Structure 1
């Protein structure tokens, strides 16, 4: 059975991604386009939940993928390709956050699919998403990254540790503090009747 090489969306298996990175290191533009299509929405969601600045999201995705194009030969296989790419995106996001003004609201419909929901359910879901997003915005960037990578990208702590370049125990500590801070923020939102 022949494997499809024309995947355009979703995540690619690690072996396929490593193969694409090898081809990209050799200057294969078609491999780069395939990897870019496979990562664009994933990186957009990650960066969007970190910055909530629509202009910055696209810029950081493009900067991240430019580094992938330029540095593909440095990928040594010591981690998953997705971990390597998300680590680049994380560093680019932190750099972008340092150089940007206050975050602006992004269109949640870019990241979520509400098809099939009743209007009332869609409104309730959007309100909940906005409340959680506002609470996430109040977390320090390091804690926000751990939350987003864990809950929105289903990464293991060991992979997150590689992405954010810290020990696994630091990831666990950041998660502990982020959960408690998020709980307090959401409780205060509820108490204030929002």
Structure 2
């Protein structure tokens, strides 16, 4: 067993212990889960909603549901899958309840402090193009794309999160990739 797999297995055991303790009412264990998952959920929701207020509200609602439903977690899937499914459903409900357009939030640039201005500009421009292209995707395709590429989930996990068949996940991802390739073709040509 390589070191990465061993570390991942230890993390999963820690998470299993934390959810068991939270189910027994241990607030410290839940606080640890909250600190572990809130940033991950917030990143997912940011790409899904682009609304800062909604992100915090939905992430907190999702984590509250985790606290309240910790006893119902049966281990039939990974804890992360269960938590992301809760967050996804909460986000879908919140988005359907909105009667105003979603605001676009600029992403933080991943360019370091010593970065050349031209490179920084190019990164920001490409990031804006990717975000704009993602925003054009239907919610279900956008969520599948994000869970695949930004949260490293497999088809089966995504199917559980989104409560749909694996083939639906594959189809949504296929259409998302095809649409993004069309929308970003000009950006990609300029970079080569």
TM-score range, shorter chain: 0.7 to 0.9
Residues 146-171 of structure 1 show CA distances to partners (whole Å, capped at 9, x for unaligned) of 00000111111111111101111111
Shift of 1:183: 1.6
By how many angstroms is 1:68 displaced? 0.2
Tell me the equivalent position of 2:170: 172
Which of 126, 138, 141 in structure 2 is aligned with 1:140?
Answer: 138
TM-score (norm 2): 0.87
CA distance in 1, matches of 2:161, 2:66: 14
Distance (Å, rounded) in 2 between the aligned partners of 1:51 and 1:31: 29
Counterpart of 1:49 in structure 2 is 47
Q: In 2 relative to 1, CA 164–19 (structure 1 residues): closer, same or farther, beyond 3 Å? A: same
Offset, 1:126: 1.9
Residue in structure 1 matched with residue 29 of structure 2 by the alignment: 31
RMSD of aligned Cα (Å): 1.8
Aligned partner of 1:88 in structure 2 is 86
Provide the TM-score with structure 1 as the length reference: 0.86
Aligned length: 178
Decide whether the 8 Å contact of 1:64 with 1:92 is kept in 2: yes
The aligned residue for residue 157 of structure 1 is 155
Q: Match of 1:13, SS? A: helix
1:74 alignment counterpart? 72
Residues 47 and 114 of structure 1, relative CA distance in 2, 3 Å threshold: same
Question: In the alignment, is the contact (CA less than 8 A) between 1:14 and 1:82 conserved in 2?
Answer: no
**Equivalents in 2 of 1:119, 1:43: separation in Å?**
32
* Cα 1:98–1:189 shift into 2, 3 Å: farther
Cα deviations by residue, 1:21-51 (Å, 9 ceiling, x for unpaired) = 1111111111111111111211111000000
2:111 is aligned, of 104, 110, 114, to: 114
Q: CA deviation at 1:190?
A: 7.6
> Unaligned 5+ residue runs, structure 1?
1-11
Work out which of the residue numbers 179, 182, 190 in structure 2 matches 1:181.
179
